[in-house]
Amino acid sequence: MDASVRELSYAQAIQEAMALAMEADERVFLMGEDIGVYGGAFQVTGDLVERFGPDRVMDTPISELGGAGIAVGAAMTGLLPIFEFQFSDFATLAMEQIVNQAAKMRYMLGGEVSVPVVMRFPAGSGTGAAAQHSQSLEAWLGHVPGLKVIQPATPYDAKGMLLAAIADPDPVMIFEHKLLYKMKGPVPEGHYTVPIGKAEVRREGRDLTIVATSIMVHKALEAAAALQGEGIDVEVVDLRTVRPMDKATIIASVKKTSRLLCVYEAVKTLGIGAEVSAMVAESEAFDYLDAPIGRLGGAETPIPYNPELEKATVPQVPDILAAARDLVKGRS
């Protein structure tokens, strides 16, 4: 490993990206509930308030609608706000500002105004936070033209995609899985970006393509390693960006493997896997398929508090193994 590449946690990578952006451009500032002295609900902002002061690391009142509205308005004036929701579920309280304002202002004003706001959403299950604090709502926002929606799966991408989001002239919604915050990985020092709208092939394979998002990328990689011992060679594609989706990478992978399994934590119905499946079915890759497309998503239920029930509502490695075997062996 290059000497300039350190091991940072996912949370540390995000914090470093925000600090670099704030050092480089005084227009960048942070907003959110308890992000100041407390350091954020998941301690991601940490000591940034001590480094940059309360005028640039702003604790907001308990009003997601109000805070998001201020962030959108500030972005329209040329500032570069980063607004943190304590939980992604609380986006439901600010949908007016996200969907009707941030996403549409550039279009409605003929391109004369940009809305370069970044919104961060701690998302997903696994913390015992129950039904109102454990959802994965990225497909909701991915449905809206005018928004860009990303799901970094590694510390490297968490830093690079956040820096790309800050530089983007349009609203970027970042969904950060809460269980990834402590995951460590190599993160270069200094400024770099990871392109929004570009998927990453995490593992090459020839028998099956698994398109996965967020924490499911790591579960898919674990499953792929196990399947290798059974003679099943799996290609794992990290979607990274929900909107705009990287169709070219997915189609190329499916044409190579002739099978597709979509794995995501959000509820299966009307989820990201449906869009990926339809996109492949409408493309030239359809003629290469040797088995029906598989979707492995969350159960049709709110997330339970009980830890065992909570695990049962979202895909786990054994579920991916079973679905992959079915596609490669059961229907070939």
For 150-193, how does the pLDDT look when each residue is reduced to its tens digit (9 = 90+)? Answer: 999 999 999 999 999 999 999 999 999 999 999 999 999 999 99
242 and 305 fall within a common domain: yes
Active-site annotation holder among 16, 33, 84, 133: 133
180 and 215 fall within a common domain: no
Residue ending a domain, among 188, 216, 243, is 188
Active-site annotation holder among 16, 33, 64, 310: 64
181 and 268 fall within a common domain: no
What is the pLDDT confidence band of residue 2, given thresholds at 50, 70 and 90?
low
**Token pair 């349009």 is at which residue?**
170
Residue ending a domain, among 188, 209, 241, is 188
Amino acid making up residue 153: A
Residue 23 counted as domain residue: yes
- Please check the confidence at residue 76 and state whether its pLDDT lies above 80: yes
Distances from the Cα of 323 to the Cαs of 77, 174, 208, 269, 295, in angstroms?
A: 49, 29, 11, 17, 9
133 in catalytic set? yes
23 and 141 fall within a common domain: yes
Cβ 146 vs Cβ 103: under 8 Å: yes
Number of domains observed in the structure of the chain: 2
> Does the pTM exceed 0.85?
yes
169 and 204 fall within a common domain: no
DSSP 242-285: EES--HHHHHHHHHHHS-EEEEEEEESTTSHHHHHHHHHHTSGG
For residue 97, the domain's CATH number is: 3.40.50.970
For 283-294, how does the pLDDT look when each residue is reduced to its tens digit (9 = 90+)? Answer: 999 999 999 999
- Please check the confidence at residue 1 and state whether its pLDDT lies above 90: no
Residue 75 counted as domain residue: yes
Cβ 234 vs Cβ 203: under 8 Å: yes
Residue 194 counted as domain residue: no
93 and 230 fall within a common domain: no
- DSSP designation for 162: H
170 and 216 fall within a common domain: no
Q: Is 113 exposed, middle or buried (0-12, 13-18, 19+ CB in 10 A)?
A: middle
238 and 284 fall within a common domain: yes
160 and 23 fall within a common domain: yes
79 and 147 fall within a common domain: yes
Distance of CA 262 to the CA centre of its chain: 15
Residue ranges making up the domain that contains 155: 5-188
- Please check the confidence at residue 46 and state whether its pLDDT lies above 80: yes
Q: What is the rounded average pLDDT of the residues 207-223?
A: 98
